[in-house]
């Protein structure tokens, strides 16, 4: 399909979603039959959090994520995207954007996915999480059709799957301690900081465990001097590395900070695509890749490749998601230095089973595609 045909198909597309307001299913399954036996459907699922999740950006007891199903020739590929508040995305907005493109998606040749995802990226401005929901579903479908797990499609060894940390959101010292105890099986913890309570948070964690820590400030410190002061203190607290201490646009200040601390610094909010990475090289030691942020497998793989070529470290992270996205990311994890793939462990109503974790080690399913099983319709 060329660009003109793509837009003509788009013009004939459908749109519209009705909010049901139910706890788990907040938007109806929408389904349009495409040519032949192809169908593409979207659904917003409400994922209930085990603990209220707080970062510098938001606090909530649930998260809504956008789920997709691409069905052709009797095979269904599953996808998911978690809209990122930082980029003004949400599940219903992503669903609406995909519904408008349903006829485009059902008309596509999934085997030409690289070109198609690039075209879809142009048609979904600002909706990379929704793009990820399509990209993941197509790769799941392709690998099911080929009869191989996704890690094998990328030429990876499941024995090299990463060890994930467990994340501890910002909370009171007592609940922080409880969360640390609940994460007993994990060899590393990732602690969210970036507020005035940082020292109390780290003190609470350290009162329970001596495990190596990773911290994520989520752009929470507003001056380079504050960032250096806090990082120097964290260096005395057994912290391995930090994500995004300063706001994403402060690249000059990031270079200033990096020259005054020893701890490796990762860019998360400052890194959206592979094209961003060269300019981050002086201010950061590594980048954080997320399928929701990159728009799926293809761009995530590209970011990992570019970062490695520039001698930078790679960390595969996630949003709060079901086992769909987390399993998808886990299939790429043999490629990266570090993993923060615990978003499915933070929820209590996961609609899928897929990747499992043993003492932090990601255990990849060895069945075709993502290797998911649907536990809830």
Interface with Mg ion (CB under 5 A): 216, 243, 268
CB 191 within 8 A of CB 214: yes
Q: How far is the CB of 288 from Mg ion (least distance, A)?
A: 5
Residue 131 in tokens:
């793009």
Which residues, 6 or more positions from 18, have their beta carbon under 8 angstroms from its beta carbon? Answer: 27, 28
Cβ-closest position to Mg ion: 268
Among left, alpha and beta (phi > 0; psi -120 to 50; other), residue 290 is beta
Which C-beta is closer to Mg ion: that of 198 or that of 268? Answer: 268
Residue 40 in tokens:
């593409």
- What span, in angstroms and rounded, lies between the C-alpha atoms of 49 and 343? 10
- What span, in angstroms and rounded, lies between the C-alpha atoms of 224 and 211? 28
- What span, in angstroms and rounded, lies between the C-alpha atoms of 360 and 356? 9
Q: How far is the CB of 216 from Mg ion (least distance, A)?
A: 4
Q: How far is the CB of 301 from Mg ion (least distance, A)?
A: 20
Tell how many helices (H) and how many strands (E) occur in the chain. Answer: 14, 16
Using CB atoms within 10 Å of the CB of residue 213, give its burial: 0 to 12 exposed, 13 to 18 middle, 19+ buried.
buried
Which C-beta is closer to Mg ion: that of 140 or that of 268? Answer: 268
Number of other residues whose CB lies within 10 A of the CB of residue 16: 10
CB 55 within 8 A of CB 170: yes
Cα 79 to Cα 26, 180, 363, distances in angstroms: 17, 31, 20
């Amino acid at each position: 399909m060329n660009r003109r045909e793509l837009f003509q198909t788009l013009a004939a597309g459908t749109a519209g979603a009705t909010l049901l307001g139910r706890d788990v299913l907040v938007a109806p399954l929408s389904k349009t039959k495409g040519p032949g036996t192809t169908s593409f459907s979207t659904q917003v699922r409400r994922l209930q959090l085990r603990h209220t999740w707080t970062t510098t950006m938001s606090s909530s007891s649930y998260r809504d994520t956008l789920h997709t199903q691409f069905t052709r020739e009797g095979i269904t590929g599953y996808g998911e995207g978690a809209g990122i508040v930082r980029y003004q995305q949400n599940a219903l907005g992503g669903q609406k954007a995909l519904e408008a493109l349903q006829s485009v998606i059902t008309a596509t040749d999934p085997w030409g996915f690289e070109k198609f995802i690039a075209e879809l990226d142009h048609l979904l401005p600002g909706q990379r999480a929704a793009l990820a929901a399509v990209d993941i579903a197509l790769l799941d479908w392709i690998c099911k059709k080929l009869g191989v797990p996704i890690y094998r499609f990328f030429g990876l060894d499941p024995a090299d799957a990463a060890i994930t940390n467990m994340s501890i959101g910002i909370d009171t010292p007592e609940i922080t301690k409880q969360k640390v105890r609940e994460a007993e099986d994990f060899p590393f913890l990732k602690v969210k900081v970036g507020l005035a309570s940082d020292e109390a948070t780290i003190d609470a964690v350290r009162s329970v465990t001596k495990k190596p820590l990773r911290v994520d400030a989520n752009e929470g410190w507003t001056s380079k001097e504050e960032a250096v002061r806090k990082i120097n203190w964290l260096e005395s607290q057994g912290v391995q590395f930090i994500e995004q201490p300063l706001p994403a646009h402060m690249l000059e200040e990031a270079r200033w900070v990096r020259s005054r601390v020893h701890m490796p610094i990762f860019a998360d909010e400052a890194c959206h695509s592979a094209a961003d990475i060269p300019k981050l090289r002086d201010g950061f030691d590594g980048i954080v890749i997320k399928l929701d942020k990159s728009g799926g497998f293809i761009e995530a793989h590209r970011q990992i490749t570019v970062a490695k070529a520039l001698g930078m470290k790679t960390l595969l992270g996630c949003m709060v998601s079901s086992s769909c996205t987390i399993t998808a990311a886990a299939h790429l994890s043999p490629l990266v230095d570090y993993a923060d793939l615990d978003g499915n462990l933070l929820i209590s109503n996961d609609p899928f089973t897929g990747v499992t974790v043993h003492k932090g080690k990601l255990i990849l399913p060895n069945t075709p595609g993502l290797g998911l099983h649907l536990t809830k319709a």
